[in-house]
Chains A and B, each alone.
Chain A
Amino acid sequence: MTINVAMTVNGKAVSGKVEARTLLVQFLREHLGMTGTHVGCDTSQCGACVVHVDGKSIKSCTLLAVQAEGTKVLTIEGVAESAEKLHPMQEAFRENHALQCGFCTPGMVMSAIDMVKRHNYQLDETTVRRELEGNLCRCTGYHNIVKAILAAAPAMKSAGV
């Protein structure tokens, strides 16, 4: 079944023809060429595909593109204000060496931003670790990811994002 979908991705109206079975992540990667969102598993567990739909973090490998009809989608490509001015979470990841191969990074950053906001910019290490349940990283051992998120929380608050 072919369906027309339309949604807003990173502030821009987009549309396309998809099959009913097309996942949101496939729509982003294959139809829009936005390959920042990754696929690392087929059981909805690794979190490399996390994006925000209407302000909430979700796994874009477990949402049909048609389910995102009419929504506002935010992906890793739309997080930074500009190439020069990264989002405080991205900046914290860089400052704290919270990424190595970079493959899980987009999902990590998207989950982390959502986490900080949901916890009203107040996090401790235990909470951060628990909140990362849906994101796997094989390189960093999580140490620096946790450190980065803890550092980003107050930075996001003062930046008002």
Chain B
Amino acid sequence: MTSETGIGARVKRKEDQRFLTGTGRYVDDLPLARATYAYFLRSPHAHARIKSIDVSAAKASPGVVEIFTGKDVADAKVGGLICGWVVKDKHGQPHKSPPHPVMAVDTVRYVGDSVAMIIANSYDEAKDAAEAIKIDYEVLPANVDLAKALAAGAPQIHAEAPGNLIYDWELGVKADVDAAFAKAAHVTKLDLVNNRLIPNAMEPRAAAAEYDKGTGQYTLWSTSQNPHVLRLILSAFVLGIPEHKLRVVAPDVGGGFGSKIFCYADETMVCWAASRVGRPIKWTAERSESFQTDCHGRDHVTHAELALDKDGKFLALRVETIANMGAYLSTFSTAVPTYLYATLLAGQYTTPLIYANVKAALTNTAPVDAYRGAGRPEATFVIESIVSKAAMEMKIDPAELRRKNFIPSTAFPYQTPVALQYDSGNYPPIIDEAIKIADYKGFEGRRAEAKSRGKLRGIGFSSYIEACGLGPSQVIGQLGGGVGQWESAQIKFNPTGNVQVLTGSHSHGQGHETTFAQLVSDRLGVPIDQIEVVHGDTATTPFGMGTYGSRSLAVGGSAIMKAADKVIAKGKRIAAHLMEASVADVVFEGGTFKVAGTDKAVPLGAAVFAAYVPHNYPLAELEPGMDENAFYDPSNFVYPAGTQICEVEVDPDTGEVEIVSFTAVDDFGNIINPMIVEGQVHGGIVQGVGQALMENAVYDEATGQLVSGSYMDYTMPRADDVPSFKVGYKVTPCPHNPLGVKGCGEAGAIAAPAAVMNAVHDALAPVGVGHVPMPATPLNVWQAIHGAAK
């Protein structure tokens, strides 16, 4: 069915009404009667031993209800937070797994590690009382610098991880790769730092909890991207509350970008303390706390080498990376620089031999985990930077060098040398379209014109691929992942014909309430305003894995389609009965069951009504009711791909970089709602631009303090930092999911850093600058120009 509300239509979002009128309901908005408020006292030191904590004066402070320290939590036998992905090192040994207590007991390991929870009648009173807590710290040597983490003599952060090494992991056969390098006509070498980022969803993390003494039921409201997974972790590993006695609700959530996937100490404490206090507890992070304690992203130090033959054909790629884990292992941290990074190092190219070595290291910094793209932006930055550098060195047009090495469209499914098998794709038309939109041919003219104004203009390409739509459960299991990666859906008709679609996915900006309704409307012919998508509450939705890794549509949407198929199958049997026809003769078209070649017809609504009022109904062979659920486990990842072209102008006097043009052409497979997809692309690009030009999480080496700990020092992209974007599509449908869709949530953030940095390097090459560190801030660019001029 093609309609104004079906698949492919730019349907305006159903959720917008409440967000536009101030009636959305985020965690902090909850009115909880008799609520108390929590404040966490956090370590001011990067590494210290807690010699003593004295809370007696604080307990007497006005309004204080209760104070908990790490000792209270340990005495209550609360479990530690877990890392849910076991990565085996190059010797087959599981990664080192130091404990992660929800509250520090005797040692603090980063600035922000929590040491006490103060619960009071008001937030201000809790904060007032915190100042009366006396803690005697013995400050220990600390290290916040990833590059020094594995050096001999570096401060030891956990006894369980000697030398601060979590794992030394590899992929590929080094000897084969080395042999290919020995025969190469040209080798391009690159050292780079993938700068550390702070996700900064605009809604700070928050939690609220209450405990029902009568039923023993806990309810935890959390800013979570995956409430069922949070409940599972809290139940099975941390708090021991039986799953059926814990309800986790993630209501409206103001952005996540990965940072709200994980199980955090604060929400764990809020939930745990609710039963002890006997009153509801609310906690909302101040932005400064978010900066200090949300899981950070990226933070790699990498050396890469690309071997090429004399014509520019890639022969082999060799990558050595050190990845920062922070002070503790967060929920999925170990998987990010391995299975989400090294497995992507083939990019869009036929590079036959790839070797990657990744060492994960501990530092006295906030935990690092998945942030929009998670591993794939880091991989794309390595590949697309080195490819553009090779093009420059070999004096080959960067688009041409890419085309020369693209996997041909005839080669799919394509087995890469780094484990993944790409299911589909057609890359040359994508770059051709991008080149057309960006007017690449006219670039040299624009460069000359800019020069006449004293500006250095440059252009940069980035052709990315990502594996997303996590994911095939058995593959994930083989790689050490601790959970299944399917998704659930339930389509529940009410007797009056309207529909609730319950999903295990969670929307925190992605617009599922609209896109998923479009799927159901399209498939079942139900008007879209009769469809309500329900998500985010473990009490109402089936167990699901949540939203991350661009998986909601490819996996969650596919589950919905499977459930819709079950509705149709059942409806056919009901309709066959009502029409006195054979089920085999019944077809479903435009929301109506028909018998081919006759005028017999039963609308779906009539079949549903018959199912709920089964007076004329085949009860002997069919259950009443219309409520179908489905679980979908994909057979492979999905592989969106695209090319971005960025054009910049650099002011050589100040080092400022202005993005003057930005083009993105993507292949996301079939598109359900182009309006929403474009929004995802725009937002992703700006996060990528932010990484390239602005954002940088900086810890002070001497004190371990987070220097970029507020918007005063962490540069968030603002409206006047970016232009409007030019966006285009090519479509090769995904062959293995029922919708033919890939994922679009991370693409922009994955590709953009390399596109921008390649443009900056192209602009600065004429003045002799070889390398600018990311982010290319005015200071970094000026210093690079200044250094080159010396």
Q: Do A and B bind each other?
A: yes
Residues of A within 8 A of B (CB): 19, 21, 29, 33-43, 45-46, 48, 75-77, 79-80, 83, 86, 90, 93-95, 97, 99-106, 109, 125-126, 128-130, 132-133, 135-147
Write out the residue numbers on chain B whose beta carbons fall within 8 Å of the beta carbon of A33.
31
Known: A36-B22, A95-B12, A100-B255. A46 touches B719 (CB 8 A): no
Task: Choose from A40, A79, A109, A142 the contact partner of B203 (Cβ within 8 Å).
Answer: A40
Write out the residue numbers on chain A whose beta carbons fall within 8 Å of the beta carbon of B712.
43, 45
Q: Does B457 touch A at the CB level, under 8 Å? A: no
- In the assembled complex, how far is the CB of residue A120 from the closest CB belonging to chain B, in whole angstroms? 20
18 sampled A-B residue pairs with Cβ under 8 A = A38-B26, A38-B254, A40-B203, A40-B204, A43-B288, A77-B22, A79-B21, A94-B16, A97-B12, A97-B679, A99-B19, A101-B201, A101-B202, A104-B202, A105-B20, A133-B720, A136-B711, A139-B202
Write out the residue numbers on chain B whose beta carbons fall within 8 Å of the beta carbon of A21.
124
Which of B26, B675, B711 has the most CB atoms of chain A within a 10 A radius of its CB? B711
Write out the residue numbers on chain A whose beta carbons fall within 8 Å of the beta carbon of B26.
35, 38, 103
- In the assembled complex, how far is the CB of residue A34 from the closest CB belonging to chain B, in whole angstroms? 7
Q: How far apart sit A133 and B715, CA to CA, in the bound complex (Å)?
A: 12
- In the assembled complex, how far is the CB of residue B714 from the closest CB belonging to chain A, in whole angstroms? 10
Known: A36-B23, A48-B202, A140-B679. A102 touches B719 (CB 8 A): no
Q: How far apart sit A146 and B720, CA to CA, in the bound complex (Å)?
A: 10
Closest CB pairs A-B (n = 4)? A36-B22, A103-B254, A102-B19, A101-B509
Q: Does B718 touch A at the CB level, under 8 Å? A: yes
Q: Does B456 touch A at the CB level, under 8 Å? A: no
Write out the residue numbers on chain B whose beta carbons fall within 8 Å of the beta carbon of A137.
202, 719
Compute the total of residue contacts between A and B using a CB distance below 8 Å: 180
Assess the A133–B719 pair: CB atoms within 8 A: yes
Write out the residue numbers on chain A whose beta carbons fall within 8 Å of the beta carbon of B83.
none
Assess the B287–A40 pair: CB atoms within 8 A: yes
Q: How far apart sit A142 and B716, CA to CA, in the bound complex (Å)?
A: 12
Assess the A102–B252 pair: CB atoms within 8 A: yes
- In the assembled complex, how far is the CB of residue A126 from the closest CB belonging to chain B, in whole angstroms? 8
Known: A102-B252, A140-B682, A141-B684. A46 touches B202 (CB 8 A): yes
Assess the B287–A41 pair: CB atoms within 8 A: yes
Q: How far apart sit A135 and B717, CA to CA, in the bound complex (Å)?
A: 10
Q: How far apart sit A56 and B416, CA to CA, in the bound complex (Å)?
A: 59
Write out the residue numbers on chain A whose beta carbons fall within 8 Å of the beta carbon of B491.
none
- From B508, which residue of chain A is reached at the shortest CB distance? A101
Task: Choose from A40, A75, A126, A145 the contact partner of B202 (Cβ within 8 Å).
Answer: A40
Assess the A43–B12 pair: CB atoms within 8 A: no
Write out the residue numbers on chain A whose beta carbons fall within 8 Å of the beta carbon of B722.
141-143
Q: How far apart sit A29 and B30, CA to CA, in the bound complex (Å)?
A: 10
Q: How far apart sit A129 and B717, CA to CA, in the bound complex (Å)?
A: 11
Q: Does B582 touch A at the CB level, under 8 Å? A: no
Assess the A132–B719 pair: CB atoms within 8 A: yes
Q: How far apart sit A38 and B204, CA to CA, in the bound complex (Å)?
A: 10
Q: Which of B1-56 contact A (CB under 8 A)?
A: 12-13, 15-26, 28-29, 31
Write out the residue numbers on chain B whose beta carbons fall within 8 Å of the beta carbon of A34.
22
Q: Does B120 touch A at the CB level, under 8 Å? A: no
Known: A41-B710, A133-B720, A141-B683. A109 touches B202 (CB 8 A): no
Interface SS of B by simple majority: loop
Q: Does B560 touch A at the CB level, under 8 Å? A: no
Q: How far apart sit A35 and B254, CA to CA, in the bound complex (Å)?
A: 14
Write out the residue numbers on chain B whose beta carbons fall within 8 Å of the beta carbon of A136.
202, 711, 716, 718
Interface residues on B, range: 35 or more
Assess the A86–B201 pair: CB atoms within 8 A: no
Q: Does B69 touch A at the CB level, under 8 Å? A: no
Which of A19, A45, A95 has the most CB atoms of chain B within a 10 A radius of its CB? A45
- In the assembled complex, how far is the CB of residue A2 from the closest CB belonging to chain B, in whole angstroms? 13
Given contacts A39-B28, A43-B287, 11 further A-B contacts (CB under 8 A): A19-B124, A35-B26, A39-B284, A86-B21, A97-B13, A101-B253, A104-B254, A132-B720, A137-B202, A139-B202, A141-B687
Write out the residue numbers on chain A whose beta carbons fall within 8 Å of the beta carbon of B146.
none
Assess the A83–B202 pair: CB atoms within 8 A: no
- In the assembled complex, how far is the CB of residue B197 from the closest CB belonging to chain A, in whole angstroms? 12
Q: How far apart sit A4 and B345, CA to CA, in the bound complex (Å)?
A: 64
Task: Choose from B25, B255, B288 the contact partner of A139 (Cβ within 8 Å).
Answer: B255
- From B20, which residue of chain A is reached at the shortest CB distance? A90
Write out the residue numbers on chain A whose beta carbons fall within 8 Å of the beta carbon of B31.
33
Q: Which of B302-342 contact A (CB under 8 A)?
A: none
Assess the A103–B203 pair: CB atoms within 8 A: yes
Which of A129, A139, A141, A143 has the most CB atoms of chain B within a 10 A radius of its CB? A141
Task: Choose from B19, B288, B679 the contact partner of A105 (Cβ within 8 Å).
Answer: B19
Q: How far apart sit A80 and B16, CA to CA, in the bound complex (Å)?
A: 13
Assess the B21–A103 pair: CB atoms within 8 A: no
Assess the A102–B509 pair: CB atoms within 8 A: yes
Q: How far apart sit A132 and B686, CA to CA, in the bound complex (Å)?
A: 15
Q: How far apart sit A77 and B252, CA to CA, in the bound complex (Å)?
A: 17
Q: Which of B712-755 contact A (CB under 8 A)?
A: 712, 716-720, 722, 724-725, 748
Known: A129-B720, A143-B725. A83 touches B21 (CB 8 A): yes
Interface string of B694-716 (1 = CB under 8 A from A): 00000000000000001110001
Q: Does B511 touch A at the CB level, under 8 Å? A: yes
Q: Does B286 touch A at the CB level, under 8 Å? A: yes
Q: How far apart sit A50 and B19, CA to CA, in the bound complex (Å)?
A: 15
Q: How far apart sit A125 and B687, CA to CA, in the bound complex (Å)?
A: 21
Q: Does B257 touch A at the CB level, under 8 Å? A: yes
Assess the A100–B719 pair: CB atoms within 8 A: no
Assess the B711–A43 pair: CB atoms within 8 A: yes
Known: A77-B23, A109-B20. A100 touches B287 (CB 8 A): no
Q: Which of B500-543 contact A (CB under 8 A)?
A: 508-511
Write out the residue numbers on chain A whose beta carbons fall within 8 Å of the beta carbon of B201.
101, 103, 138
- From A143, which residue of chain B is reached at the shortest CB distance? B682
Task: Choose from B13, B17, B18, B22 the contact partner of A75 (Cβ within 8 Å).
Answer: B22
Write out the residue numbers on chain B whose beta carbons fall within 8 Å of the beta carbon of A105.
19-20
- In the assembled complex, how far is the CB of residue B750 from the closest CB belonging to chain A, in whole angstroms? 14
Q: How far apart sit A143 and B722, CA to CA, in the bound complex (Å)?
A: 9
- In the assembled complex, how far is the CB of residue A31 from the closest CB belonging to chain B, in whole angstroms? 12
Task: Choose from B16, B253, B724 the contact partner of A99 (Cβ within 8 Å).
Answer: B16
- In the assembled complex, how far is the CB of residue B9 from the closest CB belonging to chain A, in whole angstroms? 13
